[in-house]
C-alpha cells in the first residue's frame, strides 16, 4: 500500500480513500516508507506529534522516520509543540541507543532554534548512548532541573566505568537543590560500590531511610546490599538484607558475591544455604558465585554437584559468566581435563573464559599448554587483555620461553599496555629475570612509567638467583631511594643474599629494620635466613638467642640448621643443645641423630658420649637416612 501526504491537508490518502484525521493506525504508519512522499516544501498540517508519539511507543525504529529529509519534514513550521515532537524522537533514540539518528535530530533542533526546549532530552540521549562529553557540555551550558536528566548522566558515567565522575555529578545535582529519586540513589550506590566509597554509600543509605524509600523499592534495597558487600562491610550488608521487607535472589546473590570476592568462601556457602532454606531458587549469578567459593576451597566434589544442577537446568547454553565460573572452578581444583571439556562445550567464549583456562594451565606448571591456549585464543579472534598477558608471561617464565616472551612483549608495546597497566610491566620484568635476561629486565623496569615494590622484587630476585648478590643489594637500595618501601618478599630475598655473601652485620641490620623501620613482622622464613647467616659465620650463640626469641613457629628446622653449623665449627655445646631441642619435636629425626653422632665421633675425649649416641645413630639408619650432607 502506498500512502501520500498532501500539502495543507488533514488526511491520509490511500487505497481506502480517506481516513479520519484523528491518530492514524499503526498499520497505516508502517507503510509510510517513501522518502519522496514525505518530503515537501512548505507546511503540512498533519498531526506529526501524535504520529511520533505513536512511533516511539514501540522499539522498532526502522518503521519510523529515519533520514535527515524526513526529520526536516518532522520539524515543519506549521504544527504545534515542535519541541515535544523532537523530545519524543530523542527518547526513541535513547531507548534504542541510536546515536547517529540522535545526532541528526540534534542538527535539526539547532536549525529550528529549539535547543533550550530540547536540552534535557538531548542530554539524556547522549548519556544513554555513552557520548558523555556531549551530554556534559549541554548540561554545563543549559543546566537542568529534571531528575531524569541528572540520573541519566550519573548512570552514563557508571556504564563508562567513571564512578568518580558519577559521584561528582550527583554532588553537583545536590548543590543545585534537585531532589533525587530511588533510581538516582541506586545509580549512586552502584558508583560507591565500584570504588569502595563506603562512607558516601552510608550517607546515601541515611537519605534513603529518611525518605522511607526501602518500603516498596526492591531494586534500591538490593543496591544497598550490593554496595556494602562490595565495600567489604558485611555486617551492614547482612543488616540491610535482614531488614528488607522482601528478599529475592538478587539480594542474596549480592551478599554471596561479596563474600566470594573477598575470599570468605565459607560465609558465601552459609548464605547460599540460608537463601535456599527461605525457598528462594538460585539463578545463574548465584551459581557462578558459589562455584567461585568452591574453587577457593578446592572443593571439587561439591563443584561437580553444582555443574550437574546447572546442566540439568540448561543454564549453560547462553551464559558465558557461568561457563567461565565452571572452567575456573575445575582449573583451580586441579581438574584441568574437566576444565577443558567444559570450555570446549561452551557456545560462546570471551576473553575472561580463555583467561580462566590459561591461568589454570600456568598455575599447574603446564606452561606449554598455556601458550598453546593463548595461540588458539588469538586464532579465534579474541583480543587478549592485561590479565591474559600477565599470565602468559608467567607461563613463559616457568618454561624459559624467552623468545615467545619477547614476541608477547612486542604485542604489549603495540597496544600501549605498559603505559597503563603495572601488572603487565611487572610480569615482563619477572619473565626476563627468570629467563636470565637480567639486562633486559632492568631495561624494562626503568622504562615503566611507574614502578612498585613488585617491580623491584622481580629484578632483585633475578639478580639473587643469578648469583649476582651485589647487584641485588644495589637494586634494594635504589628502590628505597625512589621512596618505595620494601615488603616481606624484598627482605627475604635480601637476607638470603646477605647469608650467601657472609654479610653478617648488614644482614642483621636489615633484619632489625624490618620491624623498627618498616613495621614488618619477620616470618619463619626470614628467621631461618638470619639464623643461617649467623650459623655460616660461626656466631652460634647469637643464632641460639634468635631461635629462642622466635614467635611460635615450628623451630625444628632451625635447630637442625644450627646443629649442622655446630658440626662445621666443632661446637659440641651448641650442637648438643640443638640436638636436644630437635629431639623434643621428633626423637626419630634421622638427620639430627646422624649429625650428632658425627660430631661426637670427630671430637676428642668424647668416646663415652659417642657410645651413648650409638643407638640413636642406628635408629637414624633404620629410618633410611643413611647419609647426611654436612657443610664443611
Q: Which domain holds residue 134?
A: 1-143
Local confidence band at 615 (pLDDT 50, 70, 90 cut-offs): low
Domain final residue, candidates 93, 121, 143: 143
In a domain, 620, yes or no: yes
pTM: 0.76
CA distance 408 to 428: 9
- CA atoms 64, 70, 71, 77: torsion sign: negative
Region 149-154 average pLDDT:
97
> Hey, how many other C-beta atoms are within 10 angstroms of the C-beta on 297?
17
C-alpha span between 135 and 156 (Å, rounded): 9
Angle subtended at Cα 7 by Cα 6 and Cα 12, rounded to the nearest 5 degrees:
30
Say if 88 falls within a structural domain: yes
State the DSSP H helix or E strand holding residue 5, giving kind and residue range, or none if neither: strand 4-5
Supply the pLDDT for residue 587.
62
Q: Are 331 and 355 in contact (CB under 8 A)?
A: no
**Cα–Cα distance between 201 and 209 in angstroms, integer?**
12
**Percent of the chain's residues with pLDDT above 90:** 69
What is the mean predicted confidence (pLDDT) over 281-300? Answer: 97
Q: Which residues of 43-77 are buried (b: 16+ CB within 10 A; e: fewer)?
A: ebebbbbebbbbbbeeeebeebbbeeebbbbbbbe
pLDDT interval class at 31 (50, 70, 90): very low
Look-up of cell digits 558465601? 268
CA neighbor of 629 nearest in space, from 544, 568, 557, 588: 568
Average pLDDT across the chain, whole number: 84
Residue with cell string 526502522: 62
Strand, helix or coil for residue 203: helix
Structural domains counted in the chain: 2
pLDDT at 92 over 70: yes
**What is the rounded distance in angstroms from the CA atom of residue 627 to the CA atom of residue 152?**
76
61 located within any domain? yes
Residue 469 within a domain: no
- Picking from 93, 114, 143, the residue at the C-terminal end of a domain is 143
Answer whether residue 21 is part of any domain.
yes
Query: Do 256 and 248 contact (CB within 8 A), yes or no?
Result: no
Q: What is the pLDDT of residue 370?
A: 98
Residue 121 has pLDDT above 60, yes or no: yes
| In a domain? residue 187 | no
**631: exposed, middle or buried (C-beta count within 10 Å: 0-12, 13-18, 19+)?**
exposed
Report if residue 596 sits inside a domain.
Answer: yes
Domain C-terminal end among 143, 168, 194: 143
Question: Rounded CA gap, 520 and 297, in Å?
Answer: 28
273 located within any domain = no
Amino acid at each position: 500500500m502506498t500512502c501520500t501526504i498532501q500539502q495543507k491537508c488533514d488526511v491520509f490518502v490511500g487505497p481506502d480513500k480517506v481516513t479520519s484525521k484523528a491518530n492514524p493506525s499503526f498499520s497505516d504508519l508502517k507503510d509510510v516508507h517513501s522518502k519522496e512522499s514525505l518530503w515537501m516544501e512548505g507546511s503540512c498540517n498533519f498531526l506529526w506529534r501524535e504520529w511520533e508519539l505513536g512511533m516511539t511507543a514501540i522499539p522498532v525504529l526502522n518503521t519510523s522516520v529515519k533520514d535527515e529529509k524526513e526529520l526536516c519534514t518532522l520539524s515543519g513550521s506549521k504544527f504545534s509543540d515542535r519541541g515535544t515532537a523532537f523530545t519524543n524522537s530523542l527518547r526513541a533514540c535513547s531507548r534504542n541507543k541510536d546515536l547517529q539518528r540522535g545526532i541528526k535530530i540534534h542538527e535539526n533542533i539547532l536549525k529550528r532554534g529549539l535547543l533550550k526546549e530540547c536540552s534535557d532530552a538531548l542530554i539524556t540521549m547522549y548519556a544513554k548512548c555513552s557520548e558523555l562529553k556531549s551530554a556534559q557540555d549541554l548540561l554545563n551550558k543549559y543546566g537542568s532541573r529534571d531528575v531524569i536528566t541528572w540520573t541519566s548522566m550519573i548512570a552514563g558515567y557508571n556504564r563508562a566505568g567513571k564512578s568518580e565522575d558519577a559521584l561528582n555529578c550527583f554532588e553537583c545535582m545536590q548543590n543545585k537543590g534537585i531532589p533525587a529519586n530511588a533510581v538516582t540513589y541506586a545509580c549512586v550506590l552502584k558508583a560507591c560500590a565500584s570504588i569502595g566509597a563506603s562512607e558516601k554509600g552510608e550517607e546515601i543509605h541515611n537519605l534513603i531511610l529518611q525518605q522511607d524509600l526501602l518500603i516498596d523499592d526492591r531494586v534500591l534495597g538490593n543496591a544497598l546490599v550490593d554496595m556494602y558487600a562490595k565495600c567489604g562491610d558485611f555486617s551492614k550488608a547482612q543488616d540491610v538484607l535482614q531488614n528488607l521487607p522482601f528478599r529475592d535472589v538478587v539480594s542474596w546473590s549480592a551478599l554471596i558475591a561479596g563474600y566470594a570476592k573477598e575470599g570468605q568462601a565459607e560465609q558465601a556457602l552459609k548464605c547460599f544455604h540460608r537463601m535456599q532454606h527461605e525457598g528462594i531458587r538460585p539463578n545463574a549469578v548465584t551459581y557462578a558465585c558459589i562455584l567461585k567459593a568452591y574453587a577457593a576451597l578446592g572443593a571439587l566434589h561439591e563443584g561437580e554437584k553444582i555443574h550437574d544442577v546447572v546442566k540439568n537446568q540448561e543454564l549453560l547454553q547462553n551464559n558465558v559468566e557461568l561457563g567461565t565460573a565452571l572452567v575456573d572452578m575445575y582449573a583451580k581444583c586441579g581438574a584441568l581435563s574437566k576444565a577443558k571439556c567444559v570450555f570446549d562445550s561452551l557456545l560462546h567464549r570471551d576473553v575472561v573464559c580463555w583467561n580462566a583456562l590459561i591461568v589454570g594451565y600456568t598455575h599447574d606448571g603446564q606452561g606449554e599448554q598455556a601458550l598453546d591456549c593463548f595461540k588458539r585464543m588469538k586464532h579465534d579472534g579474541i583480543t587478549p587483555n592485561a590479565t591474559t598477558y600477565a599470565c602468559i608471561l608467567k607461563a613463559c617464565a616457568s618454561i624459559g620461553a624467552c623468545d615467545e616472551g619477547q614476541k608477547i612483549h612486542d604485542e604489549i608495546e603495540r597496544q600501549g599496555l605498559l603505559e597503563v597497566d603495572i601488572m603487565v610491566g611487572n610480569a615482563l620484568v619477572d619473565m626476563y629475570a627468570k629467563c636470565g635476561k637480567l639486562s633486559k629486565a632492568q631495561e624494562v623496569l626503568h622504562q615503566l612509567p611507574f614502578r612498585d615494590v613488585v617491580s623491584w622484587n622481580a629484578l632483585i630476585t633475578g639478580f639473587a638467583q643469578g648469583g649476582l648478590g651485589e647487584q641485588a643489594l644495589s637494586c634494594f637500595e635504589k628502590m628505597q631511594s625512589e621512596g618505595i618501601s620494601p615488603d616481606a618478599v624484598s627482605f627475604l630475598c635480601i637476607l638470603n643474599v646477605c647469608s650467601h655473601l657472609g654479610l653478617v652485620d648488614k644482614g642483621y641490620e636489615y633484619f632489625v629494620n624490618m620491624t623498627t623501620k618498616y613495621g614488618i613482622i619477620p616470618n619463619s622464613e626470614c628467621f631461618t635466613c638470619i639464623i643461617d647467616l649467623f650459623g655460616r659465620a660461626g656466631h652460634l650463640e647469637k643464632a641460639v638467642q634468635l631461635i629462642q626469641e622466635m614467635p611460635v613457629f615450628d623451630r625444628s628446622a632451625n635447630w637442625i640448621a644450627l646443629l649442622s653449623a655446630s658440626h662445621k665449627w666443632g661446637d659440641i655445646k651448641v650442637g648438643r643443645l640443638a640436638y636436644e631441642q630437635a629431639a623434643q619435636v621428633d626423637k626419630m629425626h634421622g638427620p639430627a641423630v646422624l649429625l650428632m653422632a658425627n660430631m661426637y665421633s670427630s671430637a676428642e675425649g668424647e668416646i663415652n658420649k659417642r657410645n651413648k649416641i650409638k643407638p640413636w645413630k642406628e635408629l637414624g639408619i633404620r629410618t633410611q637416612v643413611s647419609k647426611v650432607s654436612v657443610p664443611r
